[in-house]
A and B are shown apart, each in its own frame.
Chain A
Amino acid sequence: MSRFRERRGNKSEQYFDYSLLFIVLFLLGFGMIMIYSTSSYEASKDYGDAAYYLKKQAVATVLGIAAMIITANIPYHFWERFAVLGYLMSAVLICLVLTPLGVEVKGARRWLDFGIGLRLQPAEIAKLGMILFLASMVCKMGRTIRTKKGFISILAVPLPISLMIWQITNNLSSAIIIFGIAALMLFVSSPDYKRFFILGALGIAAVAAAVYAVVHIASAENRGFRGERILAWLHPEAYASGKGFQTLQALYAIGSGGIFGKGLGQSMQKLGFIPEAQNDMIFSIICEELGLFGAIAIILLFLLLIWRFMIVANNAPDLFGALLVVGVMGHIAIQVILNIAVVTNTIPNTGISLPFISYGGSSVMFLLIEIGLVLSVSHSIHLREV
């Protein structure tokens, strides 16, 4: 062994985070089981093929794993040169949604179709692009980041993209996630705490004010569909046939799961009661079938994944690598938290998928590329001999 080690490199042993890889693979496998369980009844009714959604997801997953392997084997500094390009590309792709290349699915124009059988969500590319761009920018700024100017400029960078995603593709949740990733990366790169407390307090105050305004002031006409979502969040039963429908159906599923669940495959709510349960609402079916134990097990698995991200980030050889991992960690953590919060009606309903588990090809592919990046960072950790 020791001779082999010396032959490979005489500096030190190279590290590779297998536990992270296995957690991801487990989540992917579990996700596909749940997608099949959740969608097979509706899929066989609609398409005559119970595995319709499963097959499509499997194809995307295989492509994603291939992309992950490639990314993991490219030194992550290779991507630094594409940081600006990635940022601009994201903006261009988001605008392309408005051209005939854009595809509308269920009333939302969020996808691009290049005619190769795969639909792309520019928001997913934008998340990856933002992580890369901010990591590179923070490193270039050096100590400037500690100034007020640096602080504000880092916060300003994601704003155009976030606004575009919100306004052009009408996708508030992705906009929030991108901004959240940026805020987290800024938090890590700046030694300051006070500013973030102020920022957080301001954010909470703004949200509270918005909710208060919707409930007490706004009339039905200028409330808009988001305003109504907030009311449906507060009183799902009163909006059972409209905006509160999906939420209430999810609550039925979660509540009827109980402690141990009905057993895999035994969900009733997936039989058309929760529309497209394999997408954003898949966690409610997990709760119904696997119970509180299953749900907590999945949450712990995600926590474990985030913990691995932290380990990799803390041991990254340089700040750029660490920030890349922090960005991915922020992306996945925020998305998991928001998804479960939506499904349990902890926050108002907005479309967020559960990473690695929800049905959605472009989401899983870009998530796997991000995992590839993290693995690449982990790969360059050198274990010093004690």
Chain B
Amino acid sequence: MENLEKNKTFHRRKILAAFVLFFLAFLGLIARLSYLMVGRSQYYSEMAQDLHERERSIKAARGRILDRNGVVLADNKTVCTISVIHSQIKDEEAVVDLLQRELFLEEDYVRSRVEKVSAIERIRSNVEKSTGDRIREANLSGVKVDEDYKRYYPYGELASKVLGFTGGDNQGIIGLEVSYDSILEGEPGTILTVTDARGIELDAAGENRIEPVDGSDLTISLDLNIQKYATQLAYQAMETKRADSVSVIVMNPQNGEILAMTNVPEFDLNAPFAYQGELPEGATEKEKQDLLNRMWRNGCINDTYEPGSTFKTVTAAAGLEAGAVHTTDTFQCPGYIMVEDRRIRCHKRGGHGNEDFVQATMNSCNPVFVTVGLRLGSERYYEYFQKFGLLEKTGIDLPGEAATIMHKKENIGMVELATISFGQSFQITPIQLMTTVSSFVNGGRRITPHFALEARDTEGRLVRNFTYPVREGIVSGETCETMKMLLEQVVENGGGQNAHVEGFRIGGKTATSQTLPRGSGRYISSFLGFAPADDPQVMALAIINNPQGVYYGGQIAAPVVRQLFENILPYLEEEARSGKG
């Protein structure tokens, strides 16, 4: 039954043919493999590497902000982020117990996170370092403690609107934190890790690390002590006068370094998103954000106001420069002045009678300054307005400086010119006023108000020395001397006597202006003072917004500057002597 047919020669030849066929196929595959593994090796290796590597960024420590004496105003605090890696957890109960105890979390919440099957689950961020350390020391597998930096402001509210704060991504949101973001932020580093297809990092593969470059420290001109004192006085004035807000700026008129800038109420930099007042019932997100934005506003530079009588300094300087007025000119003030058909009143009903220009300045006499303005004429007045730099921004190194709101040149008639002459019908920022007046008392130089002095890296090497533009020749030296004399007289014998400080020569000018709309009973009273009057080293501006009761600048704002000067002038002298100031 068995089939025993013979294996013939052609069978052998055919089998050999089949083998040759297979052999050729194998050769083809070897060729294909060689092409893939030699010719295309680099291409596929890179694609594969791309697939296996995960990039994780390492935050760079943000640079600190230091005051002029090296006191840290903005710092970094180490905080921890606690996460769990499900696949590495060995003792689930212990992990749940530890985390809910240390982090004060609901047990159910922790348990649901711990039991969740995921690559990595974040339990809580912004945990204090001490807590993070305790959790790390418990040494439970599957619990991960990552350290991170968080911005920290040791003085809380102090200079909040100047310093500003950062958001969660380590980026400045307002203030100097925005202006100098690029210097402070540094460069984040990266960790390249190799992971499997699930995204789990492989320990054995090792990591490729690019270290972060920490941000540079920024030294600013602010003086902690002066800032503290200015803030304290501002709060005091706000409370006693039940004012809406009080702003104080202290600046060196010679170089524009700002020693203090406060706008009370300030806010807590460590909790910038907590609204200070009461949120209206049912406020929408947008309304809340608007309220926060208002809370963060820096009135000294973000808002404009009608400067009022302090602006008479500009009229005086322009008149003196143009020769339109001399200190010996005499005037007659009947208590008002007629401009075209308008009757513009002096603040003193009965009028100041006969007075020379020095006395008129001491009296802050409106009719006299209107007369000076009219003598100049709108054309020339506008030219000086422009020459003094009032139409440009000051260039202060804080974001959001407001521009001057001024009549168009062709729209300035006699009445407008008259009102401009005593500081009404247009708006400038407080910092603009200070910058302009500085040029009248520092020899005619328009300085740039600023905070930043220098930036140094973490090793203390100088990264950048900040310099600012100065424009010379704003007014002549002669005008400067006259202006200093006039303004010293205001404090010595005129409306600014409340700013007098025993043993120091003080110059200054008061202002009281009714806010728009007129007749609302709301006033802004202010005082601008400087010392020493013959060679000003410090200038201060106090602005009280909507005070209750007495509202004259000479009576409520001048004392703020006096108290400030009483404290800081001896202090500044001390510093000057020790060679620091």
List A residues at the B interface (Cβ < 8 Å).
Answer: 41, 45, 77, 80-81, 136, 139-140, 142, 184, 187-191, 251-259, 268-269, 271-273, 287, 291-292, 295-296, 299, 302-303, 306-307, 310, 313-314, 316-322, 326, 329-330, 333, 336-337, 340-341, 344, 346
Contact = CB atoms under 8 A, between A and B. Distances in A.
Contacts of B37: 254-255, 257-259, 287, 291-292, 295
Contacts of B36: 251, 254-255, 344
B119 to A, nearest CB: 12
Interface stretch (B21-29, B73-81, B340-348, B375-383): B21-29
Contacts of A329: 18-19
A318 B4 contact: yes
A113 to B, nearest CB: 29
Nearest to A78: B2
A306 B14 contact: no
Per DSSP, chain A at the interface is helix
A273 B47 CA distance: 13
B44 A254 contact: yes
Contacts of A136: 3
B26 A303 contact: yes
A259 B38 contact: yes
A253 B18 contact: no
A273 B53 CA distance: 13
Residue from the set A253, A321, A333 with the largest chain B CB neighbour count within 10 Å? A333
Given A188-B18, A258-B45, A306-B19, A142 B5 contact: yes
Nearest to B16: A310
Contacts of B134: none
B15 A310 contact: yes
Nearest to B39: A255
Contacts of B43: 255
A313 B16 CA distance: 10
B530 to A, nearest CB: 72
Given A258-B41, A310-B19, A314-B16, A273 B7 contact: no
A75 to B, nearest CB: 10
B577 interface: no
B18 A256 contact: no
B518 interface: no
A246 to B, nearest CB: 12
B195 to A, nearest CB: 8
B194 interface: yes
A344 B37 CA distance: 10
Given A191-B14, A318-B4, A321-B7, 12 more contacts: A142-B5, A252-B48, A254-B44, A255-B40, A255-B43, A256-B44, A258-B41, A303-B22, A303-B26, A313-B15, A320-B5, A333-B25
B18 to A, nearest CB: 6
Contacts of A251: 36, 40, 44
A367 B377 CA distance: 112
Interface of B: 1-8, 10-12, 14-19, 22-23, 25-26, 28-30, 32-34, 36-38, 40-41, 43-45, 47-49, 51-52, 87, 194, 196-198, 202
B45 A319 contact: no
A272 B200 CA distance: 11
A163 B500 CA distance: 111
A155 B32 CA distance: 32
Per DSSP, chain B at the interface is helix
B22 A271 contact: no
A5 to B, nearest CB: 25
Given A254-B33, A319-B5, A319-B11, A272 B198 contact: yes
A329 B196 CA distance: 39
For the complex of A and B, the 9 pairs showing the least CB-CB separation, nearest first, are A255-B44, A272-B197, A271-B196, A139-B3, A252-B48, A256-B45, A292-B37, A188-B14, A319-B5
B197 A271 contact: yes
Contacts of A337: 22, 25-26, 29
A256 B3 contact: no
Contact of B48 (A188, A255, A295, A303): A255
Contact of B32 (A81, A320, A346): A346
A81 B3 CA distance: 11
Contact of A314 (B15, B29, B202): B15
Contacts of A187: 14, 17-18
A191 B10 contact: yes
A319 B7 contact: yes
Given A80-B2, A320-B3, A189 B11 contact: yes
A110 B30 CA distance: 32
A251 B36 CA distance: 8
A299 B31 CA distance: 12
Contacts, number: 149
A253 B41 CA distance: 10
Contact of B23 (A45, A139, A258, A303): A303
A308 to B, nearest CB: 10
10 contacts: A45-B198, A251-B40, A254-B36, A256-B48, A272-B198, A273-B196, A292-B37, A296-B30, A314-B15, A322-B7
A306 B20 CA distance: 10
Nearest to A139: B3
A341 B27 CA distance: 12
Given A136-B3, A255-B43, A302 B15 contact: no
A321 B202 CA distance: 54
A252 B3 contact: no
Contacts of B16: 310, 314
Contacts of B19: 306-307, 310, 329
B15 A322 contact: yes
A77 B33 CA distance: 41
A136 B22 CA distance: 24
Contacts of B40: 251, 255
Contacts of B10: 191
A139 B3 CA distance: 6
Nearest to B4: A318
Contact of A344 (B2, B23, B29, B49): B29
B18 A317 contact: no
B61 to A, nearest CB: 34
B554 to A, nearest CB: 78
Given A188-B11, A252-B47, A314-B15, A292 B5 contact: no
B320 to A, nearest CB: 79
A333 B4 CA distance: 27
A253 B45 CA distance: 8
Contacts of A256: 41, 44-45, 48-49
Nearest to B195: A271
A318 B7 contact: yes
B196 A272 contact: yes
Nearest to B204: A266
B536 to A, nearest CB: 72
Nearest to B3: A139
A52 to B, nearest CB: 17
Contacts of B25: 333, 337
A333 B198 contact: no
Contacts of B48: 252-253, 255-256, 268-269
A316 B7 contact: yes
B51 A140 contact: no
Residue from the set A257, A291, A341 with the largest chain B CB neighbour count within 10 Å? A257
B41 A319 contact: no
A382 to B, nearest CB: 13
A344 B26 CA distance: 13
Contacts of B198: 45, 272
Nearest to B37: A292
Contact of A273 (B4, B51, B87, B202): B51
A237 to B, nearest CB: 9
Given A140-B3, A318-B6, A292 B29 contact: no
A252 B41 CA distance: 9
A271 B202 contact: yes
Contacts of A314: 7, 12, 15-16
A229 to B, nearest CB: 19
Contacts of A330: 18
A299 B38 CA distance: 17
